[in-house]
Amino acid sequence: MIEHVDTVMVLAQQLPNPNPAPPPGSDKIIEVVSNVKWGAWVALLIGFFGGLIVWAGGRIVDHHRAGRIGVVMMLCAIGGGLLYGIGYQVISSFAGIK
């Protein structure tokens, strides 16, 4: 049994260690992720400015519920922007990627 292990060890030492290569199709996946990130950024901007318009419209016509909804929309957009900004760093730190 030990001779078999020695034979396997000798054969394993002769095999070259290949360099890592990206998987096929990874460029398309990165492109899709980039497009999703861009779309999220645009959605946050639209949400913030939409909330600003709803808040201003609610204050102009003295409709307090619309004003509150506009403030909530703006706060959600700000919170989403913070998560968007720090999300990569938090996930990278949990994953152990530097």
Does 14 fall in a domain? no
Q: Is residue 53 pLDDT above 80, yes or no?
A: yes
Q: Residue 18: what pLDDT?
A: 78
Percent of the chain scoring above 90 in pLDDT = 35
CA nearest neighbour of 63 among 71, 8, 17: 71
Comparing 41-50, 56-65, 67-76, which segment has the lowest mean pLDDT? 56-65
Does 15 fall in a domain? no
Does 7 fall in a domain? no
Does 70 fall in a domain? yes
Q: When comparing pLDDT for 26 and 7, which is higher?
A: 26
What domain range is 79 assigned to? 26-95
Q: When comparing pLDDT for 40 and 88, which is higher?
A: 40
On whether the CB atoms of residues 38 and 23 are closer than 8 A, the answer is no
Mean pLDDT in residue range 56-85: 90
On whether the CB atoms of residues 41 and 19 are closer than 8 A, the answer is no
The number of domains in the chain is: 1
Does 32 fall in a domain? yes
Is the full-model pTM beyond 0.75?
no
